[in-house]
Structure 1
Amino acid sequence: MPLATTHRAGLVDQVIEQLRTAVRQGEWPVGERIPTEPELGEQLGVGRNTVREAVRALAHTGLLEVRQGDGTYVRATSEVSGAIRRLAGSELREVLQVRRTLEVEGARLAATERTEDDVAELRALLARRASERDEGRWEHFARTDAEFHRAVVRAGHNGLLTELYLGLTEVVTASVAATSTITPGAEHVPEIGHEGLVDAVAEGDPDRAVAEARGFLDGLLARVESAPNGTD
């Protein structure tokens, strides 16, 4: 039955895309249980088996996690991030090395491609993270800092690089949180400012933007490597 098979595969793909979109848009946050198969089937107008195949496919990529007898939970916001989260003991050093690779190029592109709106967004995020830092709201600070770095990459207007970096949302946020508590004997270490990076982007100076981005990430790596446990 080739026609039926093709039609069924198309339905599964459509459900996969709708579930993926719901996760990425935050309809179901990371850690939240999604509706049951019968509920999803009713909402999407497809059979239960179609939903099951779609969920199974997304669980295989790491986006969802099926817990027998409990339900299906959101594990990550993208397949890329899900794959990273599945790596056993993914070390903080490795995360920072990948961040450096992407963010340095992102900073260079941002300095040549940014718009006035991009710069305004970066300055607004800097002000917000400074306020959260001063108030000691460290969880919010970590999320805003990660959002700032995504905004820098977006300002380069390279769709593929932005998509790749978006997949690192969870691990970037986790790395910010980890590197803010890594100095022995101190609850939080002095955070590394990004005003110089924003100024370089605003002034259209790619060399300085690269130096700024590489400089603070090298600083984070040095901080991690000098910590007692060597990594996280």
Structure 2
Amino acid sequence: MTAPLSRSLLADQAVEQLRRRLHAGEWEIGTKMPGETTLAAELGIGRSTVREALRMLAGQGMVRSRQGSGVFVERLEPEADGWEAVVRTEAIAAVIEVRTAIEVEAARLAALRANDADIAAMRRALQVRADAVDTPDRGFVDADIEVHRAVIAAAHNPVLSELFETFVPRLADAMVEMIGLLGLRDRKTEPNADEHLALVDAIAAGDATEAVRISRAHLEGMAAGLR
């Protein structure tokens, strides 16, 4: 009896089929691709596998996900030898490493030192992030960074705050790039229904262990998405 194909293998095959169709000019640059349901039916695979294949194509620079609009064609061929995508991915991974060094410790200190004003600032930042869910990628990233800035401020370490502010421009560029590569905003989830709210709740509860765990898991999850 033949074993069923794994989802990763199916995704690889779907990528190859979609690349051939793109190369053949079935969809022109700038046009919107069919939705996941349509592609799943055409390719004979599940929607989750289609989604994975589209993320792989995004990593090759061939398509780009636009929040609330769909997936659009960027190129008809992968970026030369895939090296540009590799370099972009490595640059983002380096930024995440620095974020981990800064933000995990900031989460621990914030849980130990945050006052009522700090907690209120973090919750306001969460609301701003939720309100920005339908804005362009740069606007959403700026709102997301405000949550992390509020956590940094709650650590009450001026050197840590200064280091973070110096890092913010590089961080913002990397996060916008990461959204484009992985199609992160294509997921239909409730605003703040993720580690951000959980992190703020842990800090508000003064639970340093949980705050560290959540912060680290959030960043490690990002890093895993690049592999």
Give TM-score, length-normalised by structure 1. Answer: 0.54
Tell me, yes or no, if the aligned pair for 2:195 and 2:214 is still in contact at 8 Å: no
Question: How far does residue 129 in structure 1 lie from its aligned partner after superposition?
Answer: 0.8
Q: Percent identity?
A: 33
Q: Is the 8 A contact 2:92 2:175 kept in 1?
A: no
Give every structure 1 segment of 4 or more consecutive aligned residues whose post-TM-superposition deviation is greater than 4 Å: none
Deviations 1:38-68 (A, max 9, x none): xxxxxxxxxxxxxxxxxxxxxxxxxxxxxxx
1:172 counterpart residue number: 171
What residue is the counterpart of 2:203 in the other structure?
201
Tell me the residue number matched to 1:188.
185
Higher normalized contact order (CA 8 Å, seq sep 6+, divided by chain length): 2
| CA displacement 1:105-124 (0-9 Å, x = unmatched) | 00000000001111111111
Q: Residue 222 of structure 2: which of 220, 223, 228 is its match?
A: 220
1:148 corresponds to which residue?
Answer: 147
Given that 1:146 and 1:176 are in contact with CA atoms closer than 8 Å, whether structure 2 keeps it comes out as no
Deviation at 1:154, TM superposition (A): 1.0
Q: Identify if the C-alpha distance between structure 1 residues 193 and 175 changes in structure 2 by more than 3 Å, giving closer, same or farther.
A: farther
Q: 1:204 to 1:170 in 2, by over 3 A?
A: same
Give me the whole-angstrom Cα distance separating, in 1, the residues matched to 2:124 and 2:118: 10
- The count of aligned residue pairs is 135
Cα distance in 2, alignment partners of residues 99 and 141 from structure 1: 18
Question: Structure 1: any 5+ residue segments left out of the alignment?
Answer: 1-87, 226-232
1:34 is matched with none
Task: Spell out, residue by residue over 1:62-81, the C-alpha distance to the aligned partner (whole angstroms, 9 max, x if none).
Answer: xxxxxxxxxxxxxxxxxxxx
Name the Cα RMSD after superposition. 2.0
After TM superposition, the structure 1 = structure 2 runs for residues 52-67 of structure 1, keeping only pairs within 5 Å, are: none
Amino acid at match of 2:170: V
Shift of the alpha carbon at 1:177?
1.6
- Tell me the distance in 2 between the aligned counterparts of 1:138 and 1:96: 18
Question: Which residue type is aligned with residue 202 of structure 2?
Answer: A
Query: Which structure 2 segments of 5+ residues have no match?
Result: 1-86
Paired with 1:161 and 1:136, the residues of 2 have a C-alpha distance of 29
